[in-house]
Structures are given as C-alpha cells and as structure tokens.
Chains A and B, each alone.
Chain A
C-alpha cells in the first residue's frame, strides 16, 4: 500500500525525464521498481521505530546506562578530571596524528561548534528563534577581510574587534525586534540575514561582490611565517583554545543570574516579567552575546579559508547552525558539540556518496527530529542539594 503510494508519488520526477528542446522523453522504469521495493520495507521499519518510540515514552523517566554513567562521572571530582583528560589528550594530539585534510575538517567542525554554542545562548537558553545568525558570522568575516586588505591589520587585533563588532550588530538587530515574538522574530532575523548577504553581494565597490575577497592573511605566530601545514595546525590550536574559552563562558553564563533569567524568559515571558526581570535588557544581552561568538568565529573562518564570498553566508548556513543546536539538544553544551560533530563531519565523510550527501543530510535531520524530538542529548538542569546550614545553596557539581 505504502509502496504503491510512493511509486505513484515519485513517478513524474524519478521516472520521466523530458528534454523540451529535442522533444525526447526518457523513461526510467527501473527507478520506480526500486522505490517501491525500498518503501515497502522502509514502511515496516518506520512503523517499528514509531512503535518503539511510543513504548519509550511510557518509561521515559528511566535513565539509560550511558546517562547514569555520565552523571556518576560528573559527580566525582577525580573521575571528572580523568574524563576531561580523556577528551583533552586526543584533542590536543589530533593534528599531530592525522593529516592536513583531516585537521582542516576538524577546524571547520570546531568553528561550527563555537557558532552552535553562540546560537545556543540565543535559541537554547533565551528561546529566541534566530534564523539570521549567519549575518553576524558574515560581519566578522568581512570585517577581518576588509581591514586586512586595506590596512593590513593582523588576526590577533581583529579577533577582539570582530567580537565587539558582533556584539554591536547583535544590539543593533536586537533593539528593533524585541517587541516581536516567536515566529515573527524568526522571519525578521531571516530577513536581516538575507539583507546582509544581498548587500555584500551587490555593494561591489566595497565588498567586491559575488567574486569575494581573496588573499586574506593567515594568523601569524609571533611574526614567523608558517607553511600551510603548520598554519593549519596552528589554526587548529587557536580554534581549540577558542572553543575551551567558549565552553567555559557559556557554562558560567548558564548558571549565572543572567542565564537563569534567560531560562525563565524561555519558559514564560509574562511570569518572568512579573518576577521583576528586565525583559528588554535580558533579550538584548542574549542577542549581543550570541552575536559576539559569531563575530569571532567569522574572523577565524576568514583567516582559515583566506577567501570569502557571500555564498558562504546563505540562509542554509543559518539553518545548519540552528539544526546543530536543535539536533544536539537545546540548551545543552554537550548536545551542541555532538550536534556539530554529526552535522559537519557526517556530510564530510559521506563524500563517498557525494551525490546523495545532501539528500541523506535532509533525511537524517527529519529522522532525528521524528524519533528524538528533544535532541540527541537533552539538557539537564543542574541539581542543587542542601548540604548543612553553613553551605546552604552551594552548588553540587
């Protein structure tokens, strides 16, 4: 039944191929047969998975083994240290062990993790749906490219400037759209992102239009010129450092006063205002901080590729960053990292099926959402326990 439906569904697109100029038609019946067979078995798998999900919902509260293990590790300081080392050692050794290509992929993955963590502040914590996040990323990248081209300003000077620029842009965009909520906010930010991209594309005198800016200098290591292999490795460590900084900051922010205000804002705006939280300030802060990281990531991106053009800053980029946050699990740092690794590395390694890469990517996005709508790793609130009178309210790590 399902198979017949899909055979019907895919009939015009898959089976028939016309050439209107020559007036020839190509019939590809073999496609129809394979689709029918595939969906016939696929539908059983689909139903089985759905049924399993229903079953799971009933016993949702039971922690899985892996989750329990993680909790145990987190609650013992020694184990936690060991766990951190277990992650840190391979991360540091990575570029030494693998070749240039692998390192390069890893750097782009790290850039996306930072971007994801930045957007996580806006979407995951504050609950503001931002579809134009890539605009901040683009502004950072273009700021570095232009300054480097005209005044020869180096990477290290630009990194904080890019961050500051991101913040300013965040406030500028945040200010007019604060009144909007939910999907209106989403579409305005989307519009904003597109405006930035189109301006970059059309303002030829400044941005060199669609052809982009090339020969952006790579970061220097105390004045030494590095070879490509070395500078890639160097880039990797810069990114790793930036990532650690980001994780640290986001982690601290999350449990700070502001972070709690964001969570409150996400859960219920009105109740939150009634509690005396300044809505405007809190939202602006979320926008600005999220944009800060995008600005920094933009600078790094420009320095890494040494070439940028508006095509790197389309809506899809925003969509992918958003997917990283949502697929990983909103509001959870571990989740964002997992999401970035899946979404950036999987398409990279799927290059072998290069043609079907994006097709699979889309399908994976849908499947993850259907079978794990809360994301792969869902955020857990930190649990505070009461430990005697003198340490009242102290956090239990």
Chain B
C-alpha cells in the first residue's frame, strides 16, 4: 500500500509538471493551431534563469524563502520575454503561410535556443540547489511524499485554478476564447488579435517557467537538453487530453503522469517513455480528438 501511495504521489508530481508545460502548448495550439516546438526550450530557459538567480542570491546571502520567490519571479519574467520574442521573430511573419512553415520555424527556434544555452552556459549537467523549504507535515504521510513534491502539486493546482478563472472572467480571457473560436470574427468585433496571441505566448511561457524552476529544484540538476523530453511529454499530455482544451490538458497530464509512475513502478523502468507513447497511440486510435476534445465538424 505504501508503495502504491508512493507511486501515486510520484505520478501526481509528474502530472503536475506536465500540466504546467502542457497548458502552454494547448493554449498556443488553441489560438493559432501551431505546435510550438520551442515551448520545451522556454521551460528549459526558465529553469536556467532560476538556477542563475538562485546562484547569485545564495552567494549574496539572501534568506532561503525569499530565494525561491525571487527565482520564480525572475524565471517567469525572462521566460515570458523569450516566449514573446520567439513569437515575434519566428511565428508572426508567418501568419497566413502554409501550415508546415511555422512548424519548421518552431523546430529551428528550438535547435537555436538549445545551442544558445549550451554555448552560453555549459553542455554538462549543472547541480540545482533545492529551493523549496523542507518541512514535516502530517507524520505518517511525509514518508511517502516529500515537501518539494507537495509544493509542486499545490503550486500547480493554484496556477491551474488561477488560469481557469483568468480565462473565464477577465476581458483578455474572453478575447482569448473568442480568438480561439474564430480568429477572423474576433478581429471583426474589435479584438486585437496580435495582442491576444502575444499574451497567450507570455502566459504559456510563464507557466512553463514555474514548472521549470520547481522541477529543477525537485530533481536537483539541469542541462540544456531537458526541454526536449519534457516538451514532448507535455505535448503528448496536451494531445491526450484533447489539444486546445485547457481542462483537457490538465487531465491528460495527470493521466500521463500516473500511467508513467505506475508503469515504471510495477512493470519496468527501462520502458518509461514507451508507456507514455503507447498510451497516446491507444487513446488517439479510439478517441481521435483526445479525452476531452470535441470532434470538429468537417467543413464541406
């Protein structure tokens, strides 16, 4: 039972991280129908910014609790700026081009960002200081779930709730929904579509940055390549849940995280990623639009 619970919470943590990254994918896809391959790299840049800020602050001797907060804020700011810039350079000039062009541009961006970080920092793994405060909560449970996992899960839930409320109740959220539904119509009724798209990239990148810092401090090391696998997994999660749908992305991420955790725990740890992709293939065969996705009516 303990083992089961341990795996369950491990899966929950994984799922939370996937959710944070997957939201960025799904939001961007919902609005401009582009698989933003550079999103994983944005997450990686968030993690690196977090590391650098944390490193500087530790040397300057800041108290521990403030380091986490400042590192998170800085990571969010810089990741958001990167997301914004990537969109401006790589995707904006390609509006209205054929569908594959922005995709290739995204792959190019992804290669560029990876190598940029590799050259500017190092190609090796860097140790990441544990930023989350260590504390004991409820004695029997702290054995199976440590505090950094708890912080990740709680932060993710908070961010998801915040995002849902934001999309539902603010003006910008409404504009985003309108743009996702029909870009042309949204433009006609006076939505500043360019601004909405930029905002989507900024929000998605910020979420990825939060995920980046939290997971890096949980695992304890990062290198320039972490964005790739995380990005693919998160994208898988987004597709699982039905891409374009925000609750779908959260659900998909959770399903993916739990599946992986149980599969590695009970079957074999070598094939960790294989399970994720098999699950994806299976679900897509039986529900081509994902778990929460709606089948779009075909235009005739």
| Chain A residues within CB distance 8 Å of chain B | 5-6, 8-14, 16-21, 23-25, 31, 50, 53, 123, 129, 176-177, 179-184, 186-188, 190-192, 194-195, 198-199, 202, 270, 315-316, 319, 322-323, 326-327, 330, 355-356, 358-359, 361-366, 369-370, 373-374
Contacts and interface: CB of A to CB of B under 8 A. Distances in A.
Contacts of B288: 179-181, 184
Give the dominant DSSP class at B's interface: helix
Contact of B100 (A5, A31, A129, A177): A129
Residue among B90, B120, B228, B278 with max Cβ neighbours from chain A (10 Å): B120
B108 A13 contact: no
B100 A330 contact: yes
Nearest to B99: A182
B274 interface: yes
B120 A183 contact: no
A370 B105 contact: yes
Contacts of B182: none
A92 B65 CA distance: 69
A365 B104 contact: yes
Contacts of B261: none
17 contacts: A9-B85, A14-B120, A16-B56, A20-B54, A20-B127, A23-B55, A50-B93, A129-B103, A179-B285, A184-B284, A184-B289, A190-B232, A192-B281, A194-B277, A355-B119, A362-B112, A362-B115
B45 interface: yes
Interface string B275-293: 0111011001100110000
B129 interface: yes
Given A194-B232, A366-B105, A17 B121 contact: yes
A25 B55 contact: yes
A316 B273 CA distance: 17
A12 B271 contact: no
A-B interface, 10 closest residue pairs, ranked by CB to CB distance from nearest: A365-B108, A362-B112, A18-B55, A362-B111, A191-B277, A373-B97, A369-B105, A373-B101, A366-B108, A359-B115
Nearest to B59: A23
Given A270-B298, A366-B105, A369-B101, A12 B81 contact: no
Give the dominant DSSP class at A's interface: helix
Given A12-B48, A123-B100, A192-B277, A366 B109 contact: yes
Interface string B221-263: 0000000100010011001000100000000000000000000
B42 interface: no
B126 to A, nearest CB: 7
B107 interface: yes
B51 A199 contact: no
Interface in B152-184: none
B121 A13 contact: yes
Contacts of B52: 12-13, 16-18
Given A23-B58, A184-B288, A330-B100, 18 more contacts: A9-B81, A19-B55, A20-B58, A176-B281, A180-B284, A184-B284, A187-B35, A190-B232, A191-B277, A191-B278, A191-B281, A323-B104, A326-B100, A358-B114, A359-B115, A365-B107, A369-B104, A373-B101
